[in-house]
Structure 1
Amino acid sequence: MPGGTAEQGALRRVRRSGGSRRTPGERSWITRPDSAFTVEALEYRLIGTLKSWRDYPPSLRLWFWLAPTLTALLGGILRFVRLDAPHSLVFDETYYVKDGYSYLISGYERNWPDKANEAFNAGDPSVILSTPEYVVHPPVGKWMIAAGMWFFGADNPFGWRFAAAVTGTVSIFLLALIAQKLLGSVTLGAVAGLLMAIDGHHLVMSRTSLLDIFLMFWVLAAFGALLLDRDDGRRRLARRLGALAQKSATGLPSAASQAAGPWLGIRWWRVTAGVCLGLAVGTKWSGLFFLAGFGVLSVLWDLSARRTAGIRGWISAGIIKDGIPAFLSMVPVAVGVYTATWIGWFRSSDGYFRQWAQSNPSAQWGWVPDPIRSLVHYHLEAYAFHQGLGAEHPYEASAWSWLVMGRPTSFFYETPAAGSPGCGVENCASAILSVGNPLIWWGAALSLVVLLFFWAGRRDWRAGAILAGVAVGYLPWFMYPERTMFFFYAISFLPFTILALTYVLGLVLGSPSDPPWRRRSGLYFVAGFLAAALVLSAFFYPIWTAEVIPYDQWRLRMWMPSWI
């Protein structure tokens, strides 16, 4: 397990002994049917020592919550300071911020007149028109943007971007907790949170009201819920196997029960993941890939649990008793949540395509309620639009280039006049470039190769889980080579690349059983890496936040010709 930290040594000292392995001749899932300790031993075999924050030694319980909080606090400062700069809509804010305002006043998107940006930037959104607008992205991200404007007003950039900044900050806290859970180390949780807090790509997306930061958040929340469900499901399996084992001493269970193992009931964390994934799809349709990928990953974890527990029919039992409930717990829930996010459109009478079914009666589909038929037609039209989205754009970036940041997106660039505030030289620049911290991104790209080895060669489920998050967020884009794509789409799987880098840094730290010189050298390397990442983030910070700097300083930060 990566992360040779001091707390792992303390946790190993509280490890239970005995009863955790089957004897060579044992072929059933029953280990010692008359022993309550068998259940605890099986829980340890399935889950390990760490189950929740209460399982940490008392000296570490405070840090379990404090370390993620401190990294989120740092990230929040970086995201909220000067959040209102620049004082104008940038890049695709011109769509999503104005759509958010439309949601505030009508519950669906409405059209805007020509040159509406000038009025909106000046704090006058009243120029909005009464006619509905055709858009191709679902409502959730725009509702979240609208919430920020509801709190702080639609007449200022802070209100436009508040929801994005909050979402980005909370995602740092969430990632730190997930890293702690996944890697079993408070230290590595803090490392993961720190890396995301100071990464430029995440910072830019947290300070700009585009939809992708909200997609990333709901995907990450779903992954965290599934990690908790993994432990919950294995705990239920161990306890129900123990109950069946006690009954088997009197001959009550059938042979089929012994071969298949128990049903595990409703898995509420899995339902929570379904809700989060429904909100992810309700932000952008690319969330569908995460719904499918995470669902398969969850079932594979259950299959592994039944196999580890010694259930003879673990494949068929896992498919029937885990796979079908997993589908019912996630897919219908996600569909229901997604449909509910269109509530503003349903409640309207003049949303785009809202009355399409009434104008286009169908004998074949007449039994389907008109609002549902209208919504289905809307989605078919939007899907056709996405399929044909292939217009050239100066900042389009092939998916092949994302991991190395071949073509980051420029959200904003301005050349302030000499003598203007902040510009004391002849040529100045103010820019927002969605480039990440090079040390973090390039280090994470190399780390993925290491994780492939640990997953395929050592069967480390943690490496597999991280790779799955990257795969479902990244690989599907290669199916659409003709579509116009942008680097900022990569924000959806950024948390998993940071987890990959954190995993490798944990390997570098070593384990408590390593000699002192090995531990010191690992600690020095990781500390040096984090210090270098902090220095690089300070260096790039001006071009992430639209600070006014001399033009030659801006050029100094353009490390690749394709960044210009």
Structure 2
Amino acid sequence: MSTEVTTEPPAPASPPTPPEYTGPTGSRLDDWWLRLVGTPGRQRLWRWGGPIAVTLLAAVLRLVDLAHPHSLVFDETFYVKDAWTTWNLGYEASWPADADAQFNAGAYQIFQTNSSFAVHPPLGKWIIGLGMAIFGADNSFGWRISVAVCGILLVLLTALIATKLFKSTLLGTIAGFLLAIDGHAIVMSRVAVLDGIVALFLLLGFGAVLLDREWHATRLAAAVAARTTHPPDRPDGTSRPPVVPAWGPVLWNRPWVLAAAVAFGFASSVKWSGVYFLAAFGVYLVVVDALARRRLGIPFWLSAAVLKQGPVTAVLLLPLALVCYMVTWIGWFSTSGGMYRNWAEAAQGQWTGGLSWVPLSLQNFWHLESAVYNYHVNEHSPHPYQANPLSWLFLVRPTQMYVNSVPADQCGGDVCYENITSIANPIIWWCATAALFYLVYRLVRKREWQVGLILMGMVAGYLPWLLYVNRTIFQFYTIAFEPYMILGLTFVIGLALGSRGDPRPVRTRALWIVGGFFAICVLVSAWFYPVWVGMPVPAWFLSLHYWLPSWR
């Protein structure tokens, strides 16, 4: 009889632990930079100097030769002329059939007094009209200066928000720099249309929500602590756990929510798409409140956020936003010539029954808004540059806003063109798109609040358009959410950069890679700049900018 002895196979040897790195950390560039900003005064200078520097860069790229071309470009035919009649009459009025050529030639007083049907609220036109009133309606610089200022401020605000969001002046400056040199942002600052204006108000609201997050968390924690009771110890001397309020307090003092209401209300007064941000960030505020209550140990944190604090947040947010929207219509209400201003009286369309008490002016206003809504949902007229929103993130069909042939001696070619195409810097745009997909993955894995806030900007700015894939819409609408794409890309760049505490070889390599990326972005922006600002270029040079067949 034999006995077989079996043994377990030996466990695989664990890999040897790499020796702890004991060399220098950070790069030589970090060492130089720390010496440069080594005093509190220099640090304060850098905190403001970085964002201001990229803002000045943005100003140069947006203001130089802003008056060119002295011709109404793309939808300027609507918004510039509507802005001028709104500024003079208080409402959008009609123009003669051949008004564009006469307007370009300086005949800016040929408008009529009968109303025209405008499909967007008036605030953006008031803003454009302000520039025309200051610099003259016969001056194409005056047509565009208000939008250019909004575009410059958009860069500054992006830099400041990124600095606050990432707690890094460097990353804030990077975010502002990327937006400053991006072609889509440049073009939408140099053409007098509404989208650059609405983007600024939306980002103001986003910034207010960001500031409310810290304000709310601090005050909620203090209020919960003040209401938490500490029962006496047990008879055996052990302490009892503190008793946290079941629902927690209600916070009415939230000034940044009021600021967000103003910003989103004014955004909606430029274009109705601002309402999507109002709704999305209203939900976001409730979610943030619920998570804050859960962290503080409040038992009924979800029901408290939805049923207790949620209605209060809605009261703080919605009525003020509505008031801001209605205020921008003061010209229409205070005059009698606007579209449908006397519709109920003229068409005998007064409301009856339980709504008969509503003032006729409000009945007329409701009829106008209904007509505008019907226009938007039923706009299916084909356009050569319409772009399906499913293609926006991939930059498939940018919008050509202006093209004009010019004498060959202006550019040294046989055929020369002035071209303005609202196309983003492809490298920045495509990398930002890739960053967004990574951020979705990272939110699922790590649940970082900064990532969630950035993606909420994309949810509000992009996802609603997927409901209108069959409507006539354009790539240039994406300026409304481009700042959040830039913030997402900046977040990934921050991860790539690492920190000064990284080993010197790792940190140095990261700086070289990121620096190379910036160099490529600058070169591509320089390459595309002529077709962003309408410089005369030969036809062969223009054709080299069509990287995709759909860009033609």
Q: Same fold (TM over 0.5)?
A: yes
Which has the larger displacement, 217-226 or 327-336? 327-336
Alignment deviations for residues 415-471 of structure 1 (CA, whole Å, 9 cap, x no partner): 11223xx23222111100000001100000100111011111111111111111112
What are the within-5 Å matches in structure 2 for residues 380-529 of structure 1?
A: 380-419=370-409, 422-529=410-517
Q: Alpha-carbon deviation of 1:249?
A: 6.8
Identity, % of aligned positions: 43
Supply the AA of the counterpart residue of 1:129: Q
Supply the AA of the counterpart residue of 2:331: G
Q: Alpha-carbon deviation of 1:58?
A: 6.1
> In 2, Cα distance between the equivalents of 1:196 and 1:325?
36
> In 1, Cα distance between the equivalents of 2:458 and 2:90?
34
Which has the larger displacement, 508-517 or 145-154? 508-517
Which has the larger displacement, 338-347 or 473-482? 473-482
> In 1, Cα distance between the equivalents of 2:387 and 2:284?
29
Supply the AA of the counterpart residue of 1:314: W
Which has the larger displacement, 183-192 or 61-70? 61-70
Q: Alpha-carbon deviation of 1:59?
A: 4.9
Give the alignment partner of residue 534 of structure 1, picking from 504, 522, 529.
522
Q: Alpha-carbon deviation of 1:512?
A: 4.0
What is the match of residue 225 of structure 2? 242
Q: Say if 2:532 is the partner of 1:544.
A: yes
Greater than 4 Å deviation, 4+ residue runs: 56-59, 247-251
What is the match of residue 73 of structure 2? 90
Q: Are the equivalent residues in 2 in contact too, given 1:164–1:209 (CA < 8 A)?
A: yes
The DSSP-based 3-state class of the residue aligned with 2:384 is coil
With over 3 angstroms needed to count, the CA separation of the structure-2 counterparts of 1:5 and 1:457, relative to structure 1, is farther
Give the alignment partner of residue 280 of structure 1, picking from 264, 267, 278.
267
What is the match of residue 349 of structure 1? 336
Q: Are the equivalent residues in 1 in contact too, given 2:293–2:301 (CA < 8 A)?
A: yes
Q: Alpha-carbon deviation of 1:362?
A: 2.3
Supply the AA of the counterpart residue of 1:156: N
Which has the larger displacement, 84-93 or 471-480? 471-480
The DSSP-based 3-state class of the residue aligned with 2:418 is strand
Alignment deviations for residues 133-173 of structure 1 (CA, whole Å, 9 cap, x no partner): 11111111111101111111111100000001000000100
What is the match of residue 323 of structure 1? 310
Q: Are the equivalent residues in 2 in contact too, given 1:5–1:510 (CA < 8 A)?
A: no
Supply the AA of the counterpart residue of 2:386: E
Supply the AA of the counterpart residue of 1:461: W
With over 3 angstroms needed to count, the CA separation of the structure-2 counterparts of 1:415 and 1:520, relative to structure 1, is same
> In 2, Cα distance between the equivalents of 1:457 and 1:210?
40
Q: Are the equivalent residues in 1 in contact too, given 2:224–2:248 (CA < 8 A)?
A: yes
Q: Are the equivalent residues in 2 in contact too, given 1:241–1:261 (CA < 8 A)?
A: yes
What is the match of residue 13 of structure 1? none
The DSSP-based 3-state class of the residue aligned with 1:432 is strand
> In 2, Cα distance between the equivalents of 1:513 and 1:238?
33
The DSSP-based 3-state class of the residue aligned with 1:311 is coil
The DSSP-based 3-state class of the residue aligned with 1:444 is helix
Give the alignment partner of residue 361 of structure 1, picking from 344, 350, 367.
350
Q: Are the equivalent residues in 2 in contact too, given 1:199–1:436 (CA < 8 A)?
A: yes
Q: Alpha-carbon deviation of 1:257?
A: 6.5
**TM-score, scaled to structure 1:** 0.87
Gaps of 5+ in 2: 1-24, 31-38, 234-241
> In 2, Cα distance between the equivalents of 1:178 and 1:239?
26
Q: Are the equivalent residues in 2 in contact too, given 1:226–1:269 (CA < 8 A)?
A: yes
Provide the aligned length of Structure 1 versus Structure 2.
508
RMSD across aligned positions (CA):
2.0
> In 2, Cα distance between the equivalents of 1:500 and 1:57?
30
The DSSP-based 3-state class of the residue aligned with 2:246 is helix
The DSSP-based 3-state class of the residue aligned with 1:502 is helix
Instruction: Name the larger-Rg structure.
Output: 2
Q: Say if 2:182 is the partner of 1:199.
A: yes
Q: Are the equivalent residues in 1 in contact too, given 2:390–2:469 (CA < 8 A)?
A: no
What is the match of residue 41 of structure 1? none
Q: Are the equivalent residues in 2 in contact too, given 1:5–1:185 (CA < 8 A)?
A: no
> In 2, Cα distance between the equivalents of 1:168 and 1:375?
31
Q: Say if 2:292 is the partner of 1:292.
A: no
Supply the AA of the counterpart residue of 1:269: W
> In 2, Cα distance between the equivalents of 1:229 and 1:238?
14
> In 2, Cα distance between the equivalents of 1:5 and 1:322?
46
Q: Are the equivalent residues in 1 in contact too, given 2:294–2:301 (CA < 8 A)?
A: yes
What is the match of residue 81 of structure 1? 64
The DSSP-based 3-state class of the residue aligned with 2:537 is strand
The DSSP-based 3-state class of the residue aligned with 1:382 is helix
Q: Are the equivalent residues in 1 in contact too, given 2:26–2:503 (CA < 8 A)?
A: no
Q: Are the equivalent residues in 2 in contact too, given 1:112–1:127 (CA < 8 A)?
A: yes
Q: Are the equivalent residues in 1 in contact too, given 2:91–2:337 (CA < 8 A)?
A: no
Q: Are the equivalent residues in 2 in contact too, given 1:154–1:160 (CA < 8 A)?
A: yes
Q: Alpha-carbon deviation of 1:526?
A: 1.3
Give the alignment partner of residue 153 of structure 1, picking from 122, 133, 136.
136
Gaps of 5+ in 1: 10-55
Q: Say if 2:104 is the partner of 1:114.
A: no
With over 3 angstroms needed to count, the CA separation of the structure-2 counterparts of 1:535 and 1:468, relative to structure 1, is same
**TM-score, scaled to structure 2:** 0.89
> In 2, Cα distance between the equivalents of 1:201 and 1:559?
16
What is the match of residue 254 of structure 2? 267
Q: Say if 2:92 is the partner of 1:103.
A: no
Q: Are the equivalent residues in 1 in contact too, given 2:350–2:363 (CA < 8 A)?
A: no
Q: Alpha-carbon deviation of 1:239?
A: 2.2
What are the within-5 Å matches in structure 2 for residues 28-47 of structure 1?
A: none
The DSSP-based 3-state class of the residue aligned with 2:472 is coil
> In 1, Cα distance between the equivalents of 2:505 and 2:301?
45
Q: Alpha-carbon deviation of 1:308?
A: 1.6
The DSSP-based 3-state class of the residue aligned with 2:207 is helix
Alignment deviations for residues 340-397 of structure 1 (CA, whole Å, 9 cap, x no partner): 1110000011211011122322222211111111111101111111111001111111
The DSSP-based 3-state class of the residue aligned with 1:126 is coil
What is the match of residue 298 of structure 2? 311
Supply the AA of the counterpart residue of 2:388: S
What is the match of residue 302 of structure 1? 289
The DSSP-based 3-state class of the residue aligned with 2:420 is strand
Q: Alpha-carbon deviation of 1:476?
A: 1.1
Supply the AA of the counterpart residue of 1:304: L
Supply the AA of the counterpart residue of 1:192: A
With over 3 angstroms needed to count, the CA separation of the structure-2 counterparts of 1:331 and 1:438, relative to structure 1, is same
> In 1, Cα distance between the equivalents of 2:164 and 2:290?
21
Supply the AA of the counterpart residue of 2:82: D
Q: Alpha-carbon deviation of 1:65?
A: 1.8
Give the alignment partner of residue 375 of structure 1, picking from 365, 377, 398.
365
Q: Alpha-carbon deviation of 1:547?
A: 0.3
> In 1, Cα distance between the equivalents of 2:46 and 2:62?
24
